[in-house]
Amino acid sequence: MEAHVTAHSRYVIADIDNRLYGSFLEHLGRAVYTGIYEPDHPSADENGMRRDVIDLVRELDTPICRYPGGNFVSAYNWEDGIGPKDERPTRLDLAWHTSESNHVGIHEFAEWAKSANTEMMLAVNLGSRGLDAARNFVEYVNHPGGSYWSDLRKKNGRAEPWDVKLWCLGNEMDGPWQVGHKSAAEYGHLANETAKALRAFDDRLDLVVCGSSHSDMATYPQWEATVLESTYEQVDYISLHMYFENYEKNTAEYLALPMKLDRYIGTVGGIIDYVKAKRRAKNTVRISFDEWNVWYHERKNDAKRMKEWGWPHAPALLEDIYNFEDVLQVGCILNTFIRRSDVVRIACIAQLVNVIAPIMTAPGGSAWKQTIYYPFQLASRYGRGTALQLDVDCPAYDADIAAGVDYLDIAGVHDSDAGTLTFFAVNRNGKEPMDISISIEGFGEAKSVAHTLIKNDDLEATNTEKNPENVKPEAGKGAQLSGSRLTVSMPAHSYSMISVQ
Ligand code: AHR
């Protein structure tokens, strides 16, 4: 099978916002407790945070981390997580039917984020609470001093404000499962009033209003239109979520799902334009795709277990073990975001540690990289710069979700500072290798080429605590540069990063 690609320096999509490689950490399962925080762990730092996990997060190079939820935030009292730890209340978490000790709150998370070299993206509770709790939280986090909440922060040991710019106005408020779920009109009104109050405090904040939890929601896409008509001038981003499943074990259908993602982004992009025109608005709202990942391996088991247990603290929950097939999927998802980077400015892999996550930990034991760690890391490290509008000519197949799914999924990024041109490519064909020929035009003379390959003959191959390096990138063979022509051969069902300089 052959594919022909043209990359030209003048054919560009957008400068990629680095926050496209964001992440997400929720008070859910073992994400926080025995995930990032385990005071008795041999690697724990002075704050009780696992250094081994911090190292893996730093290597992942994720510029922002959304916190503290997720469904959790919709019944969360942020004040429970401040002050002396032994005086913090244990609460029942209604979203996940667990107990929350509140031993980690905003102070601990902020310290962790600094150590992990990531910026905080914070969510306020617009489910069980509203404008008042939100404005108090923002004042606590961002005001220098001389007010009740900022002075309390100082008393609790943090003199300087954290100056968090990016705030989510609730989470998945379209979902009937959400504590305090609302209609689009109710939520639009509340989000607008909350945004106005937060802007009265600081009009430089970046505010994210909730869009749909997924594109199969009955309220999609009217939800986006109604919510944006209520909030357009007050917000900067509309949030979208999507999780990917392969219950049928049908790889061709599974790997076609990013076409559905692409349509979802295109539709919401159109609604943004429509509302902007209708309101004669001067600002431009963009998409924050702040929850995405593969999520199905443990989902049904978890739903059953949650009905059976009492209120455990930090049980194993949503601990999907990812396989090699998921590497291909995550590669295609990230490529879709790069190709849509004109409208998708922020995206967060959901989540970061233990809970549907690229990083796993054993309590008291080691931390390791799941298979999907690698395509995320490669895109996050090398996918910064300008997204290129590639011309791609390759064979395609028809799937139920979409006709004409290219066997080659490819995105190109030009980093003019580093002088690199990098292609991220997935061969969706499980039977045949793909010979790719890329014509590189207008970038000046390329001198060297590097090829990184992720390939396993078993789509179900995983990384485990005992065998943590079963699936990992290796040096690819056979990428060649001849003048302005780059050729590379990709094995059937494989992921490649090819970089020229
Ligand atoms: O990431 C897991 C859950 O998925 C989040 O809590 C929620 O926002 C979404 O439904």
CB 436 within 8 A of CB 489: yes
CB 440 within 8 A of CB 7: yes
Which residue's CA is the nearest one to ligand 1's atom 3?
Answer: 70
Domains and CATH numbers, the chain: 2-9+388-500 (2.60.40.1180), 17-382 (3.20.20.80)
Confidence category of residue 478, pLDDT binned at 50, 70, 90: confident
The pairing of strands 494-500 and 12-15 is unpaired
- CA distances to 20, 168, 182, 232, 263 from 210, rounded to whole Å, are 18, 8, 11, 12, 18
From the list 79, 108, 119, 172, the catalytic residue is 172
pLDDT for 178 equals 98
DSSP 42: T
The pairing of strands 405-406 and 408-415 is unpaired
CB 53 within 8 A of CB 353: yes
Q: Per DSSP, what are the bridge partners of residue 487?
A: 437, 480
pLDDT by residue (tens digit) across 78-126?
999 999 999 999 999 999 999 999 999 999 999 999 999 999 999 999 9
Q: Which string of b and e fits 189-207 if b means at least 16 CB within 10 Å?
A: ebbbbbbebbeeeeeebbb
pLDDT by residue (tens digit) across 278-301?
999 999 999 999 999 999 999 999
Whether the upstream peptide bond of residue 266 has omega within 30° of 0, thus cis, is: no
pLDDT for 103 equals 98
Task: Give me the numbers of helices (H) and strands (E) for the chain, helices first please.
Answer: 10, 26
If you measure from the C-alpha of residue 290 to the centroid of ligand 1, how many angstroms do you get, rounded to a whole number? 10
If you measure from the C-alpha of residue 467 to the centroid of ligand 1, how many angstroms do you get, rounded to a whole number? 29
pLDDT by residue (tens digit) across 312-360?
999 999 999 999 999 999 999 999 999 999 999 999 999 999 999 999 9
The whole-angstrom distance between residue 116's C-alpha and the CA centroid of its chain comes to: 16
ipTM: 0.99
Quote the CA–CA distance of 92 and 28 in Å, as a whole number: 12
Quote the CA–CA distance of 343 and 58 in Å, as a whole number: 27
Confidence category of residue 10, pLDDT binned at 50, 70, 90: very high
Ligand 1 atom having least distance to the Cα of 356: 1
What residues line ligand 1, using a CB cutoff of 6 Å?
26, 69-71, 171-172, 213, 291, 350-351
pLDDT by residue (tens digit) across 193-213?
999 999 999 999 999 999 999
Quote the CA–CA distance of 365 and 42 in Å, as a whole number: 8
DSSP 113: H
Degrees, nearest 5: CA angle 233-238-239: 155
If you measure from the C-alpha of residue 282 to the centroid of ligand 1, how many angstroms do you get, rounded to a whole number? 32
Whole-number average pLDDT of the chain: 98
Which residue's CA is the nearest one to ligand 1's atom 6?
Answer: 70
Sign of CA dihedral 285, 242, 376, 162: positive
CB 318 within 8 A of CB 29: yes
Quote the CA–CA distance of 383 and 414 in Å, as a whole number: 8
